[in-house]
Amino acid sequence: MGKNQLLQGNEVCALAAINSGVKFSAGYPITPSSEIIEVLSAKLPDAGGKFIQMEDELASMGAIVGASVMGVKSITVTSGPGFDLMQENLAFAAMAEIPCVVVDVQRSGPSTGGATNPSQGDLMQVKYGRSADTSVIALYPNSVKEIYQMTIEAFNMSETYMTPVVLLMDEIIGHLRESICMDDYSDIKLVTRKLPVCDSKDYHPYATDETGIVKLMPFGNKEGFHYVINGMHHTEDGMPNISPVNTRKTISRINDKIDRYERDIWRWEEKNVKDAEILIVACGAASRSAAEAADIARKKGKGVGVFRPISIWPFPIEPFRIAAKGVKKIIVPEMNRGQLVHIIKENTPETIEVVSIQHYDGTAIMPEHILKALEEN
């Protein structure tokens, strides 16, 4: 039986990555995520891996893409301004279908902003920050234990769907300390990417079977598989082809492989939604305050439930619609100027009022902020 340890969220993220089979990490220190790369740099060599501090975040993203092309599970870590710089190579990874994990511990922005202050300002950037259309997987835990689970899930999804996955946190969750016994999660199955079973002469790297997911042989293989990876629209052989037919085919496939399996990707938690008249929808640190506010309100006789999306993208739309059925009002508290609220409004009938609580002064959103909105309604 394992022992409980009092660990920080960022520390646990690094340990979970190593336990997921990560063998390479590249990064550049940035508050409030630096503890993750500190742990990775110290412990990865003992696990047979390597860590490199790069000159910036664009290079960090490029390095983990390169390592993944070689067949190695890879991770980089950043926050707001660094996540900005990663977008070009994140788009390349999505287009070339290279699995990897990017951790974004959100802080108050824009730009340098408040480096030590919490925020949830990157929710929409995760989905729309890159050029053109790329569906994305983004997971957002709200506790130390869930950070451990979702870090492993992020790697499993990345390897399953051959795509980069973003693990979102915020300064509060990243620096939160809670008790965890990591042995409790030793039964989580680890996924590694599927490899081609054909002969090298018959290999087409971007050809797919009925799953719609590619099987890329690692570069440097001894079996004689040679092919091209690039960021252009490409044929099944990986060669550039920007014809209208192939352009549509390429863009459709890299999006469809995620959209098609969204029900398998969806993660969410709900509490007291069956009898709720008011539904609070929140994620990350805001969801912890939402849960406490809902408990206080229910003790006062208000029918308040909480819906917490864990997979921010793809958003669990159908579970949300079921949870919201029959409520009179939806309250969306978040530490930004209103981002999550947009997808809530898009999927809520006009007969239900949606109230946005926009908290962006660089402090934590507290239960009393949400209770005030509940008391006003």
Q: Three-state secondary structure along the chain?
A: CCCCEEEEHHHHHHHHHHHCCCCEEEECCCCCCHHHHHHHHHHCHHHCCEEEECCCHHHHHHHHHHHHHCCCCEEEEECHHHHHHHHHHHHHHHHHCCCEEEEEEEEECCCCCEEEEECCCCHHHHHHCCCCCCCCEEECCCCHHHHHHHHHHHHHHHHHHCCEEEEEEEHHHHHCEEEECHHHHCCCCCCCCCCCCCCHHHCCCCCCCCCCCCCCCCCCCCCCCCCCCCCCCECCCCCECCCHHHHHHHHHHHHHHHHCCHHHHCCEEEECCCCCCEEEECCHHHHHHHHHHHHHHHHCCCCEEEEEECEEECCCHHHHHHHHCCCCEEEEEECCCCCHHHHHHHCCCCCCEEEEEECCCCCCCCHHHHHHHHHCC
Lowest mean pLDDT among 137-141, 185-189, 367-371: 185-189
Which of 211, 298, 226, 250 is closest to 95 using CA atoms? 250
Which of 283, 339, 350 is closest to 146 using CA atoms? 283
> In which band, very low, low, confident or very high, does the pLDDT at 30 lie, cut at 50, 70 and 90?
very high
> Cβ(246)–Cβ(291) under 8 Å?
no
> In which band, very low, low, confident or very high, does the pLDDT at 377 lie, cut at 50, 70 and 90?
low
This prediction's pTM:
0.96
Amino acid 355: pLDDT: 97
CA distance 278 to 304: 5
For the beta carbon of residue 102, count every other beta carbon within 10 angstroms. Answer: 28
CA distance 114 to 28: 18
Amino acid 2: pLDDT: 80
Strand partners, 8: 177
pLDDT at 156 over 80: yes
Amino acid 360: pLDDT: 96
Q: Tokens 């920050």, residue?
A: 129
What is the DSSP secondary structure assignment for residue 190, as one 8-state letter?
Answer: P
3-state SS, residue 99 = coil
The predicted-structure confidence for 292-309, as pLDDT tens digits, reads as follows 999 999 999 999 999 999
The predicted-structure confidence for 244-282, as pLDDT tens digits, reads as follows 999 999 999 999 999 999 999 999 999 999 999 999 999
Amino acid 375: pLDDT: 86
The predicted-structure confidence for 188-210, as pLDDT tens digits, reads as follows 999 999 999 999 999 999 999 99
> In which band, very low, low, confident or very high, does the pLDDT at 32 lie, cut at 50, 70 and 90?
very high
Instruction: Give the mean model confidence (pLDDT) for residues 343-352.
Output: 96
> In which band, very low, low, confident or very high, does the pLDDT at 133 lie, cut at 50, 70 and 90?
confident
Which domains are seen in the chain, by residue range? 1-265 (3.40.50.970), 266-375 (3.40.50.920)
pLDDT at 351 over 70: yes
For the beta carbon of residue 82, count every other beta carbon within 10 angstroms. Answer: 23
The predicted-structure confidence for 77-101, as pLDDT tens digits, reads as follows 999 999 999 999 999 999 999 999 9
pLDDT at 110 over 80: yes
Instruction: Give the mean model confidence (pLDDT) for residues 5-16.
Output: 98
Average pLDDT, the chain: 96
